[in-house]
Amino acid sequence: MVIELMKSHASVRNYKEQQLTREQVSELIEAAQHAATSHFVQAYSIVWVTDEDKRKRLGELSKNPKQMEGAGAVFLMCADYNRLGHAVKMQGEEIVFDQAENVLVAVTDVGLLAQNLVLAAESKGYGICYIGGVRNNMEEISELVGLPKGVFPVYGLTVGVPNESNEVKPRLPVEAILHENEYDETKYAELLPAYDETVTQYYAGRTSNQKMATWSEQMAAFLKKPHRPDLKEVLAKRGYLFK
How much is the average pLDDT of 21-39?
Answer: 98
Mean pLDDT (the chain) is 95
Could you tell me the CA-to-CA distances from 175 to 56, 61, 156, 190, 198 in Å, in that order? 43, 39, 31, 11, 15
Name the pLDDT band for 207 (thresholds 50, 70, 90). Answer: confident
Q: For position 8, what pLDDT does the model report?
A: 92
Query: Rounded to an integer, what distance in angstroms lies between the CA atom of residue 230 and that of residue 219?
Result: 22
How much is the average pLDDT of 131-156?
Answer: 97
The yes-or-no verdict on residue 103 having pLDDT over 80 is yes
Q: For position 173, what pLDDT does the model report?
A: 97
The yes-or-no verdict on residue 88 having pLDDT over 90 is yes
